[in-house]
Amino acid sequence: MNHTYTPDEIASMFKISKYTVYELIKRGELTAFKVGNKMRIEHKEVERFKGNRTPAPNSLPRGPGNAPFSTGRALHLAGSHDFLVEHLVKYTGAESAGISIQPSFIGSLEGLMMLHRGSADIAAMHLLDPVSHEYNLPFIRQLFVHEHITVVRLASRKQGFIVAKGNPKKITGFQDLARPDVTMVNRQKGAGTRFLLDSSLADQSISPATINGYQTEEWTHLGAAAHISRGSADVAFGIQYAACQLGLDFIPVTVENFDLVFRWTPENRTALQHLLDLIHFTTFRDSVQELDGYDAAELGSIIYEQH
């Protein structure tokens, strides 16, 4: 007789939360059937999932009794604006995934400070340390000494100059920002992109006072790119995906690491574990591959952990 498993047994087997098992079933990545009002998963289906993790052809749309699952707590994410973060928020919120994320796009530095103050559960960041030239970890190690935190790699992404189609001002490097015929639009103070720009200007001894538009600030990559699209600025420093969204040209400068920092507490542990499982075990990774300017090869990797 074919052995069957309960969702709790599957969760224990794969060391994931039971909410993630229900999410896998709901998304068609693990096939289950109902006996009365209880869910069961066949042994051969577990072996299939274990072997290739390919989506199964049919699944139940909801959990027992057709009720949506919930971890019972919304997660507050604060930090850098990124399209991949927006994508994660939508992905987890789709069709009652059992978890909700409330984002506040306030910049990498302020997001990390909110996490440090206990006002957020997750920080989204990409801060380059100008001394070590390492992303994120130097800042995290300084701020978090006793807290339980986990740093999860979301993706690497391309940063560079966003310019009009055809690059009419022939912008090739940071020195062009100081030209009198060039106007830029900047990101707000505290943004990782602004931090990277200022570090690069300092390295090349370029004074911000010589740059037209340096004081003009936008809070998102798309907002900055929109200035280029409508002709109110010639260049913005930002990510490739924003340029592609508006049909603009992009001159790559560097590839940076974008990470999520989890701060674990008794109150958010279940929800954070469910989110981590969703990143590791669902088709979220596949959906990221289609986004221009992102490399998701390390998506979900634990970069640093402190208990």
pLDDT tens-place string over residues 130-161: 899 899 999 999 999 999 999 999 999 999 99
- In this structure, of 63-72, 94-103, 106-115, the range with the lowest mean pLDDT score is 63-72
User: Is 183 in contact with 234 (CB distance < 8 Å)?
Assistant: yes
Q: Which residue has the tokens 């380059």?
A: 128
Number of H helices, E strands in the chain: 11, 13
Would you tell me how many other CB atoms lie within 10 Å of the CB of residue 170? 10
Q: Quick one: which of 268, 226, 269 has its CA closest to 245?
A: 226
Mapped onto helix, strand or coil, the DSSP state of residue 53 is coil
Contact 112/127 with Cβ under 8 angstroms? yes
Closest by CA to 54, choosing from 252, 263, 285, 271, is: 285
CA angle 73, 79, 84 (to 5 degrees): 85
Closest CA to 191 of 215, 221, 212, 153: 221
Whether the predicted pLDDT of 251 surpasses 80:
yes
Looking at the chain, the whole-number percentage of residues with pLDDT higher than 90 is 63
Domain range 71-307, its CATH number among 3.10.580.10, 3.40.190.290, 3.20.20.70, 3.40.50.261: 3.40.190.290
Average pLDDT, the chain: 88
**Domain parsing of the chain, residue ranges:** 4-66, 71-307
Residue written as token pair 């505290």: 190
Report whether pLDDT(22) > 80.
no
**Could you tell me if 56 and 45 are in contact, meaning their C-beta atoms sit under 8 angstroms apart?**
yes
Residue with tokens 């009794």: 65
How far is it between the farthest Cα atoms of the chain?
Answer: 79
- The residue type found at 23 is E
